[in-house]
Structure 1
Amino acid sequence: MATTDESTGAWFGADGQVSQLRGQLFKASCLGATLLSLFLVFVFLVYVAVDAIEPASADPGWWAAVAATVVIPAIALSIYYYRFDPRAGEVAYTSLGLPITAALLTGGVGIVFRHIVSPHEWFALTVAALVAYGVLELHDRVRESGAFERAAVTVLAVVFTLVGLPGLVPSLRSLLLSLPVLPAAPLSLLGTFVAPIALAAGWYVRRARESELAGLIAGGATVVAAALGVVAGPIAGVSWTTWLLLTTVIGVPVGLYVEGVFRRGEGVSGLALPVVVATGAVACAVVVDVVGFTGPDVWLDWEFLTSVHNTTPREAGIYPALVGSVMMIIVVAVAAFPVGVGAAIYLEEYAPNKGLLGSVVELIEINIANLAGVPSVVYGLLGLVLFVNSGGFRPGIVIVGGLTVALLILPIVIVSAQEAIRAVPDSQRQAAYGMGATKWQTTRSVVLPRAMPGILTGTILAFGRAIGETAPLLMVGVAAVVRISPNSFYGLFSAMPRQLYSWAQLAKPDFYHGVLAAGVLVLLIVLLMMNGTAILLRNKYQRND
């Protein structure tokens, strides 16, 4: 008969041994819950993918060709890595996923340069920002000032270089844009977009290899490869903007990762997986073209990503809604991130924790935590009152939708940033104070660098929720369908979840099963990419510990 020791709480069996039954049952229950949740998510993804790709419409020979040239070799190589070289497996999966993620990021950057900032506007913005940074650095070197004077100089530098005084003093950025002669658009991006990336790549290689020559070669190769696109791009049928983005946003990260693998000499054989997959895809395309197999009649194709909405299902696309979501998330990031992190820093590092003010601060923290669970439709009503009825903004524009969703995720950003700051060991703060650092110096140089990975992880997850919200957008008048992508933050827009909601209301089966599934898959890919970025940041933070 089983007995329990009242003093220790241990559970003994009839033979006097400690029973592990309850622990095993608890472990099995947790494992079952995990497997069930993963299975349900997998079933949902498969259901959506089947509707978006329609695999049954392809010839069996097409699937056999794909399996023989791509799937089977990739699986065989993955099994080899799993059994004999796990480190090479990590390299293989990273080297396969990195170009895909970089390609998705390239699409987002391309949307920014096409609809938000022109090359000349980017040139003026970058030059003005560099001038503002130079003024602040010069002030710090020339004059020892207090926190108030430093803040005042920062505000003045930003105002006169980037913003200006409307109707009184133009900003340096606007003066540059008003010049009669500006560098050509390709040169503007080469100097203000490619050059900083090349400098960063050169600095990384120089530090990793401890060689000035290696850094110069890396930075110079980046600039040369991007500059060749101005001439070679049109010849190859690729626009110079696309070439610049391909060489910098995709080529630089992939090149640095491959260089790091060869430099460390660990898992080099893992680089074979993307080569095998790419070679198999080319071979598959050749075989299918020669034999004449018919592939699946997919809904999620390039035309779907680059077309506008249409009442004909096969001609409908998600591009305007995709552009609107990108612009909205930019507004959300600019509005929610600095405010949320600033509030978290104050509450954790500066706010009093004793007396009457301490009680007020505790009440504020409780309310912030409660606001994180308020239904999203309530924030939609709040945004309608604040930005449309009181602020006078036009309903349905990008800035109204972005600010409303920013209010929604602001409590989440504050709470996650507080947890990250709170996780920094207090001994590090005390060590900085012991060396004579001020409160601000300790926060800036010790606390924030240590907490930033956790802050970014929580913030990116909050952005993942923001990009999938629909109810707040409905409340502030975001259009169900727009046929012209917004070209400014004050233009009418539609977002991907709003577009999906409108497609779900259509009675045509092709819209409900084909177009809607393709749109859901696009949204899921964006969400998974953002969540994957958060996971990578978290893992890196844990390894640094």
Structure 2
Amino acid sequence: MATTDESTGAWFGADGQVSQLRGLLFKASCLGATVLTLFLVFVFLIYVAVDAVEPGTADPAWWATVVATVALPAVVLSLYYYRSDPRAGEVAYTALGLPVAAALLAGGVGIVFRHVVSPHEWLALVIAAIVAYGALEVHERTRDAGALERAAVGVVVLGLTIVGVPGLVPSLRALILSLPVLPMAPLSLLGTFVVPVGIAAGWYVRRARENERAGSIAGGATIAAAALGVVAGPLAGVSWTTWLILTTVVGVPVGLYVERVFRGGEGVSGLALPLVIAAGVVVCAVVVDAAGFAGPNVWLDWEFLTAAHSRTPREAGIYPALVGSVMMIIVVAIAAFPVGVGAAIYLEEYAPSGGLLGSVVELIEINIANLAGVPSVVYGLLGLALFVKAGALQPGIVVVGGLTVALLILPIVIVSAQEAIRGVPDSQRQAAYGMGATKWQTVRTVVLPRAMPGILTGTILALGRAIGETAPLLMVGVAAVVRISPTSFFGLFSAMPRQLYSWAQLAKPDFYHGVLAAGVLVLLIVLLMMNGTAILLRNKYQRRD
């Protein structure tokens, strides 16, 4: 008999069984919405890619050569992995994507060493940071100070070693830069950038293989390969800076991953996919050059990435805006990450939970959550009033743009960091207290290491939003076009979204379809790489749990 209960009758059929119709309809609706969203995103990416590459301008024979030498072998090998060796497929796709991601990161590091900090400035900064860390460690070991004293000592030490007192006391960094004799630029970068990376690589191999000799060989090989570039790089037509960065930022991650695959012994055949694709590209280039097949009329090429804006579409590039975006993101990260994480730590670990102060803290948390949804143009007005009007800073400089966008993502960083800290089991805190640890020791050694993957995931996603914002930059006077890349954080700059907005206003079809599409594709690649990094951190954190 069918049920007679009016409140539950709609959920039961005539035979008394629970009806699954609504659940199936809800599942189908969610699936349809997901498929529709992915389809629309895919169509948008295809539309932008077609405008940026213009595949219809290539000879059919060129496409046939590409398919026969590159696409077909890759597809056949991928199908083999899918049907016969799924583990090798995972290795193949990782081995194919890792060099691409590392190359993009190497480009960002190259921009930093070219426009943000010179090798000598990096040398002085690293030495000052080491001295500051040593002083803080000595203070930690010699005095049982409270959290407030530690914070005050940290501010003083960092100020004296890195910043100094303007007009009164020079910093240790400034004193190092004022020395009459400094190591040559290649040696400075080799000692303060390559050597730490080599030590880290050696430590990783030693720990993974439990072999001191293997770690020493890995670290020594990294340093030797980079040092070889100081001499051999210019002979091969590659600058020594490029060689050092490629060796450390691209060669080390790829080498460590290959070593890990061989050590594990599973999916080793997956390493063949990037080799097959690379060999196919070489064969394709030789055949196309010998036969004289015309390729597509590509807008997104090396010249576009390294040139400045021009009134001629074919000569226009995005490099100054790319440099400006990188410098702006550095300011955003430096301003938003410590403040956001510090606020989250206080709200979750130190803030009172009852009484009048507890009500004030609850009100603050509600307002922080609400600020995460405020339109970005409002933050542009806030940055204009706070940094340009009240702070008397020049509009359109990197610091103003970075601090304004930092205000935009600060609530997002705080909320995501709170969720990550809240996710740490309370039993781990109680265990630390039971061992005699103080509140600060528990937060530093137990809570933060456990919550850091979640904090980094939320921060990277927030930085991904920051790099694509346009409205705040318009409000603080960021230039539409800058033909010279900024050389300091107080220089005028343009960012990628601001440059794209200015290109969209031009009436020339080549700008609107070709140049603009190429710029959008560059911005999308950067965003996808940042979001992909966040996803990898999240997945690794979940597997660790």
Please say if residues 506 and 512 of structure 2, whose CA atoms lie closer than 8 Å, have aligned partners that are also in contact.
yes
| 1:68-115 C-alpha deviation (Å, 9 max, x unpaired) | 111111111111111221111111111100000000000000000000
Shift of 1:361: 0.7
Equivalent residue, structure 1, for 2:539: 539
Please say if residues 62 and 294 of structure 1, whose CA atoms lie closer than 8 Å, have aligned partners that are also in contact.
yes
- Letter aligned with residue 352 of structure 2: P
- Letter aligned with residue 275 of structure 2: V
> In structure 1, what is the Cα distance between the partners aligned to 2:536 and 2:120?
34
> In structure 2, what is the Cα distance between the partners aligned to 1:17 and 1:154?
67
Flag the 1:2–1:280 CA change in 2: closer, same or farther, 3 A. farther
Shift of 1:16: 3.7
Shift of 1:5: 6.2
| 1:192-229 C-alpha deviation (Å, 9 max, x unpaired) | 00000001000000000001101100000000000000
Shift of 1:8: 7.5
Alignment of 1:47-62 (within 5 A): 47-62=47-62
Flag the 1:399–1:246 CA change in 2: closer, same or farther, 3 A. same
Shift of 1:178: 0.6
Answering whether residue 94 of structure 2 is matched by residue 94 of structure 1, we say yes
Equivalent residue, structure 2, for 1:327: 327
| 1:328-380 C-alpha deviation (Å, 9 max, x unpaired) | 00000000000001101111111111111111111111111111111111100
> In structure 1, what is the Cα distance between the partners aligned to 2:26 and 2:150?
57
Flag the 1:106–1:78 CA change in 2: closer, same or farther, 3 A. same
- Letter aligned with residue 388 of structure 2: V
- Letter aligned with residue 325 of structure 2: S
In the TM superposition, structure 1's runs of 4+ consecutive aligned residues that sit over 4 Å from their partners are: 1-10
- Letter aligned with residue 88 of structure 2: A
Shift of 1:152: 2.9
Equivalent residue, structure 2, for 1:163: 163
Structure 2 residue matching 1:308: 3-state secondary structure: coil
Equivalent residue, structure 1, for 2:237: 237
Equivalent residue, structure 2, for 1:153: 153
Shift of 1:144: 3.2
Please say if residues 3 and 9 of structure 2, whose CA atoms lie closer than 8 Å, have aligned partners that are also in contact.
no
Structure 2 residue matching 1:314: 3-state secondary structure: helix
Equivalent residue, structure 2, for 1:411: 411
CA-atom RMSD, angstroms? 1.4
Alignment of 1:396-545 (within 5 A): 396-545=396-545
| 1:43-64 C-alpha deviation (Å, 9 max, x unpaired) | 0000000000000000001111
- Which range moves more in the overlay, 227-236 or 15-24? 15-24
> In structure 2, what is the Cα distance between the partners aligned to 1:36 and 1:382?
37
Alignment of 1:299-338 (within 5 A): 299-338=299-338
- Letter aligned with residue 232 of structure 1: A
- Letter aligned with residue 126 of structure 1: V
> In structure 1, what is the Cα distance between the partners aligned to 2:5 and 2:535?
43
| 1:519-540 C-alpha deviation (Å, 9 max, x unpaired) | 0000000000000000000100
Flag the 1:485–1:4 CA change in 2: closer, same or farther, 3 A. farther
Structure 2 residue matching 1:126: 3-state secondary structure: helix
Please say if residues 222 and 248 of structure 1, whose CA atoms lie closer than 8 Å, have aligned partners that are also in contact.
yes
Equivalent residue, structure 2, for 1:220: 220
Structure 2 residue matching 1:152: 3-state secondary structure: helix
Flag the 1:356–1:145 CA change in 2: closer, same or farther, 3 A. closer
Equivalent residue, structure 2, for 1:25: 25
Flag the 1:416–1:4 CA change in 2: closer, same or farther, 3 A. farther
Please say if residues 198 and 220 of structure 1, whose CA atoms lie closer than 8 Å, have aligned partners that are also in contact.
yes
Please say if residues 321 and 482 of structure 1, whose CA atoms lie closer than 8 Å, have aligned partners that are also in contact.
yes
Structure 2 residue matching 1:295: 3-state secondary structure: coil
Gaps of 5+ in 2: none
Please say if residues 3 and 11 of structure 1, whose CA atoms lie closer than 8 Å, have aligned partners that are also in contact.
no
Shift of 1:7: 8.5
Alignment of 1:148-227 (within 5 A): 148-227=148-227
What TM-score does the superposition give when structure 2 sets the normalisation length? 0.98
Percent identical pairs in the alignment equals 84
Equivalent residue, structure 1, for 2:284: 284
- Letter aligned with residue 439 of structure 1: K
What TM-score does the superposition give when structure 1 sets the normalisation length? 0.98
> In structure 1, what is the Cα distance between the partners aligned to 2:273 and 2:155?
51
Equivalent residue, structure 1, for 2:344: 344
Equivalent residue, structure 2, for 1:112: 112
- Letter aligned with residue 415 of structure 1: V
Structure 2 residue matching 1:493: 3-state secondary structure: coil
Shift of 1:11: 3.0
Please say if residues 4 and 10 of structure 1, whose CA atoms lie closer than 8 Å, have aligned partners that are also in contact.
no
> In structure 2, what is the Cα distance between the partners aligned to 1:483 and 1:368?
39
Please say if residues 327 and 489 of structure 1, whose CA atoms lie closer than 8 Å, have aligned partners that are also in contact.
yes
Gaps of 5+ in 1: none
> In structure 1, what is the Cα distance between the partners aligned to 2:220 and 2:109?
22
Structure 2 residue matching 1:357: 3-state secondary structure: helix
Equivalent residue, structure 1, for 2:130: 130
Please say if residues 5 and 11 of structure 1, whose CA atoms lie closer than 8 Å, have aligned partners that are also in contact.
no
> In structure 1, what is the Cα distance between the partners aligned to 2:538 and 2:139?
37
Shift of 1:444: 1.0
Structure 2 residue matching 1:362: 3-state secondary structure: helix
